[in-house]
Chain A
Amino acid sequence: MLARILEGAGISTTSISLVREHSEKVKPPRALFVPFPFGLALGRPDDPELQHRVLRAALDLLNETAGPILRDFPEDAEPGDQPAAPLQASGIAPAAGVQDDVAMEATQMRRYHERWLEKSGRTLFGLTGIPPTQFRGVVRFLEGFAGGQDVDMPERPPDVPLPNFIRYCADDLKALYFEGHLTMKPAAGGAEIARWFWGETAAGQLLRRVRDRLDGSDDPRWKAAAFGIAR
């Protein structure tokens, strides 16, 4: 739809499509359907060669003289090691004897996360605006919320509703752990990290409880936040 709007403004567009069925209906002017899972539009992370092949195939559509065009990127390029959809918390049983001190665990993860930052120079951590060094406050906030308390944080901007802020807190907590885990195990894939986070960490169990409280609400905004944190 966006492609059609921009084309209407005189811009030539070429789109990467992850859902062929939708592109067949919407008919963007030029679209390359790629056989990759959501989150992997360009193929594989840290694989510039494959990413360039995808880009080239998308940009080649600009040479066509008429449209709409929906072309398939070769099926045999599909990364065989990528699961079709991510593992969800409900499919992962918590291990026996998971410790419950999230604050201490998060402090340990912060050290791994610092090394991730030094090595990669990048992080997806930052949606709350609260730095990792002050993240124990976020953990206490989430624990209070999960425990049924009426809690809030002074860092929550007044125009960000509480469930949205809780989601940002959960996303930052996940980023701290997931990226920290990548320091410990650089080759770990998403499924392995999900099994570890939801199965073996105190933070994973805390987010399950946060999800449960949000999901127990009648407010659709709370339910939506629950759906975005774990299911």
Chain B
Amino acid sequence: MPRLDRLPQISRNNLLTFPAQVNDSAPFVRPGKPLAACRLAIVTTAGVHLRGDRPFTPGDQTYRVIPSDTPTADILQSHTSIGFDRVAIMRDINISFPIDRLRELVTRGELGGLAPYCYSFMGAQREAARIESATGPEVGRRLAAEGVAVALITPT
């Protein structure tokens, strides 16, 4: 899902009129080493952040930094659209921000390690020029400086 034909009309129209970029190709960087040697960061558009952080507002194009060792009890979500069922993330933060699952992969030796920080943006952005020109590249530079080989990008 969400298969568009199964959504209410208001959601379907919202998605069909979404101004998605149209591209013919994609930049493509191979990790150059096995996952078991890679440092990974989550970059999410779930609008999650630390409890003490300033909440996101709709259309907010800034980002929040979440240290990877943050206890999940200290993570809030201010992306509170009623277009999705929040009971899932109330039960389990991993449904959008799979930090516990990634820690398990590190313990099993399948993933080299977690980056010191994960990054979070607001979801449901219809206008993202500032992310494209400023905050997105800034996160890219930070990840590179932190030795991150792989970013896992998760939505809500």
Contact = CB atoms under 8 A, between A and B. Distances in A.
Q: Do A and B truly interact? A: yes
A85 B23 contact: no
Contacts of B86: 39, 124, 174-175, 178, 190
A3 interface: yes
Contact of B98 (A9, A10, A55, A189): A55
A178 B28 CA distance: 42
Contacts of B90: 122-124, 175, 178-179, 182
Given A39-B156, A168-B55, A182 B25 contact: no
A9 B153 contact: no
Contacts of B139: 5-6
B3 A8 contact: no
Interface in A54-112: 55, 58-59, 62, 65-68, 78, 82-86, 88
B77 interface: yes
B68 interface: no
Interface in B1-22: 1-4, 6-8, 10-11, 15-16, 18, 20-22
B143 to A, nearest CB: 5
Interface string A2-36: 11111111111111111101100111110000011
A182 B15 contact: no
Given A78-B1, A168-B55, A85 B7 contact: yes
Interface string B37-75: 000000101100001000101100000000000001101
A11 B105 contact: no
A2 B93 CA distance: 21
A82 B91 CA distance: 14
A193 to B, nearest CB: 6
Interface string B82-117: 111111111111111010111011000001000000
Interface of A: 1-19, 21-22, 25-29, 35-46, 48, 51-52, 55, 58-59, 62, 65-68, 78, 82-86, 88, 120-124, 126-127, 164, 167-168, 171, 174-175, 178-179, 182, 188-191, 193, 224, 228-231
Given A7-B29, A13-B150, A182-B87, 16 more contacts: A1-B21, A1-B132, A1-B136, A25-B20, A26-B22, A38-B85, A39-B84, A39-B88, A41-B46, A55-B102, A62-B30, A82-B85, A83-B85, A85-B6, A86-B84, A178-B86
Interface of B: 1-4, 6-8, 10-11, 15-16, 18, 20-31, 35, 43, 45-46, 51, 55, 57-58, 72-73, 75-78, 80-96, 98, 100-102, 104-105, 111, 121, 128, 131-132, 136-137, 139-141, 143-144, 148-156
